[in-house]
Structure 1
């Protein structure tokens, strides 16, 4: 029983060992499969780890670059912030200066308006004075024509005086010839009486006594009348010659004064025309300066608005403020303001039209116009209108 039991036990043990070996082989194969799979997984994990290490190295490099860029950007931001603060200060200064310039320009605008008004008033007064001077020139031409007519009358009267003097001389010569003829006739009669005999002497003497007193009375009366006429004519000629000499002297003096007054008026008309042209040129210059100033102010305001928008929007352009167009415009505006003030000072000076018109009135008052009523009317008219309205000047 024991021997039979031993082989059965051995076979059972062999079966168990076979089962164990089979199980072991299966486990070994599964273990091998697991090892192979684990090796593959390990290889894959190593590959992943290598790729992760490479990516980590790249990330570290990029992180360092980013840190360097961040540091440089921080430095740049700090520098830009400092520059922005400086730019803000400059903009505040430029804004204050631009406001000051704007106030000055407003004052200059009011001054320019006042100077324009004065220039317009002076131009109008100069035109009125010019018209008055033209009227005076016309009156002077009329007076010159009247003086020429007076000169012609004087020449005609001089010719008449010469004719009267010639007539007087002819009458005196005829009177002397008549006296000589009477004396010759008396002498011939006396000779005839002496040659005739004593017989005829009594008859001739009777005839002479009858005829000679009548003839002598007639001749004496005629001679007395002629002498009176000659004396009257001499007196009239003397009076007329003295009167016309005085008249010619007076007319010559008045003509000379009128010529001088005409020359002075022509000079003053030229001066008034020059003043009028100067006033017109000054007004045109002021208008052009006002247009340029308005244009520059508009550009400056637009640029300041654009600059403020750019600064508020974070525009960080690297431009020097002293080279910007704003600063150049401000400098040009300051130069233009200085030039405008000089022109305003020049324009504010009184135009010489008023003084010239007053001198014209004084010249007419002292110039010696022949007609005193006309002279008074001209002087009054020049006082009312020709002094260029002193209140307006």
Structure 2
């Protein structure tokens, strides 16, 4: 655990070495007592604890299904979350409904916690929509592909909440590589300067595509935040209880006027960066097996079994639920249809915009070149969403 500066209500915790971290459940499933963080999860009921286990299992199963869909040609790309379930579920379930999430492209577990439906997850990755859900329905912004840009959005939203006199909190999710982006550092400057109620949640999964975390930080990433005047916590990201406790601490601090907090959740990306990546080309031999022994689901299941909360019947019921959700995701994905070409211009601005009108007109005339001579100027290709239109949507996603 690293606690830099006074981090209410952790003033008695002191400061520990940067290579230490908050851990409440060991990789073997043993419960570690921690007088500072235990109170933040002490109220969890057996049903809620089983719920955390179910969440992680469901997210892992749907992630595997989405990966399979990409391999079968039903999705253009998919960024797997395998291994990071505890970091996402522990933090996601700590949030209130009126808190607002600003994520990167890998937070499928957080989206599940916010109520995003399986049918809403895949349209972006199939290239048929710019977003799968209305952000205000679930208080979670559309996934951000531009690395680190969501941190600026989160701070801006948090400053707005602050000006409104509300006690909701914004949380930004990003990876270890994003901490080297200017946007993240600029966001922390603003957050510290204005004491914005925002949480910077870094999932340190050890690899920024093919670059190891050692190229992002020589010690812990959590060490960076104090330079901006932001207290930081380092937590075992494969321990769902520790993540929840740390997130609740940061939420309480933000709600009570304490300003921003930086959380580094130390976890591991067991799969590829995306389905276009081959991690065997750059990972050291044996590293994956070392982290498999720290699997977030296995350790939590061992803990729940030991305390009598999880049995074979419960495990089977959870597996059945996960399979049902995965099949719902598959059916929804396969049922997706390419949109009409000109819908790419819809909802870009809330009000009419002359630039969009001009671009729509130019694209309409371009598509008309592929018609059979019966076009009325709009072009049948534009109406049907044929090859040129579908390609344009997908290429836009790639950029």
Q: TM-score range by the shorter chain?
A: under 0.3
Larger Rg: 1
| Higher RCO (Cα < 8 Å, 6 or more apart) | 1
Which structure: greater helix fraction? 1
TM-score by length of 2: 0.17
Which structure: greater strand fraction? 2
